[in-house]
Amino acid sequence: MTATEAIFTDNARATLRAAYPETPALLDHRLSEHPLLTNAALADLARAMRPEDVEYNRGDLPVGINPADVPANGLGILETLENIETNGSWMVLKFIEQVPAYRDLLHETLAEIEPIVRDITGEMIDLQGFIFLSSPGAVTPYHMDPEHNILLQVRGSKTMTVFPADDEELAPSQAHEAFHEGGHRNLEWRDNFAARGMAHALPAGKAIYVPVKAPHWVKNGPAASLSLSITWRSEWVYREKYARSLNATLRRLGLNPAPPKRFPHQNHMKSLAWRAMAKAQRALGRN
């Protein structure tokens, strides 16, 4: 891309406006030649990051796996990154906005779609970026993420299979509640789920919008892959989170609360109730 080109095409922005926030959508982008996404630049980024913000492991994983069972690849961070073509690994550099140049890249990219987002779900909150590097054939297991997310495929290819966000069998209420109390993003997989997902091919130059909490899994293509994930939250996201936290409390009391409703329902009452409870608990803790 040149300095004057938009990252997202006009057609991509129109597609996102029609789909956002509840429908997965394929988008075109022009980020593939960005200087911050070269191998040398990514090695510098990895050196600048805190070790706890780099996750990496073997990539030969099943679709469903307990996170405690994910095997290490036996390598260091830079060795994993620099030899990703051959070492059978999967890795992610998290919260790249901690590095000023990458924060600027994240904000510039999201600024192009901010008017769309603001019109529908309000202000973009908690802008965060993640860079994924994957060996040929690597699998990212079945999981959900708590943000609005666009994954831009920069090099290589992958296939992301996305499932409906409102199917409680695919991601039960208890899994949502456990996640918001510190649990892992991975979900329990059953083979009979497979037919409910839609596989989206992502060659370089394509991106996909993934709705909040829509379960998905990813299979890398025949070459090493680089992807950039740009994410944000909205007030709706936080209302859903607080409603899930209230439900977890009600469930511990022996009740069976109804799950929060999907957008455009706002889950105001449960969110407000949880915030009031949390505020009271903080006040009692100070006494």
Distance CA(104)–CA(101), nearest Å, equals: 5
**Whole-number Cα distances in Å, 278 to 78, 220, 284:** 42, 42, 10
Distance CA(69)–CA(74), nearest Å, equals: 15
Asked if CATH classification 3.20.20.150 holds for the domain at 10-233, the reply, yes or no, is no
SS3 109: helix
- The pLDDT of residue 1: 56
What sign does the dihedral 195-227-220-182 (CA atoms) show? negative
- The pLDDT of residue 279: 87
pTM of the model: 0.95
- The pLDDT of residue 3: 55
What sign does the dihedral 66-68-73-75 (CA atoms) show? positive
Distance CA(156)–CA(147), nearest Å, equals: 24
- The pLDDT of residue 287: 60
The per-residue pLDDT string of the chain (287 residues; one tens digit each, 9 = 90 and over) reads: 555 689 999 999 999 999 999 999 999 999 988 999 999 999 999 999 999 999 999 999 999 999 999 999 999 999 999 999 999 999 999 999 999 999 999 999 999 999 999 999 999 999 999 999 999 999 999 999 999 999 999 999 999 999 999 999 999 999 999 999 999 999 999 999 999 999 999 999 999 999 999 999 999 999 999 999 999 999 999 999 999 999 999 999 999 999 999 999 999 999 999 999 888 888 877 66
Closest of 261, 264, 247, 233 to residue 168, by C-alpha: 261
**Whole-number Cα distances in Å, 22 to 33, 68, 257:** 30, 31, 23
Q: Where are the domains of the chain?
A: 10-233, 238-286
* Residues with Cβ within 8 Å of residue 262, at least 6 apart in sequence: 22, 165, 166
Distance CA(198)–CA(54), nearest Å, equals: 29
**Whole-number Cα distances in Å, 138 to 8, 19, 85, 265:** 27, 29, 11, 37
Which run of H or E residues covers position 199? strand 198-202
- Please check whether residue 91 is in contact with residue 133, taking contact to mean a CB–CB distance below 8 angstroms: yes
SS3 156: coil
Distance CA(120)–CA(116), nearest Å, equals: 7
- The pLDDT of residue 4: 66
- The pLDDT of residue 87: 97
- The pLDDT of residue 93: 98
Enter the DSSP assignment of 196: G
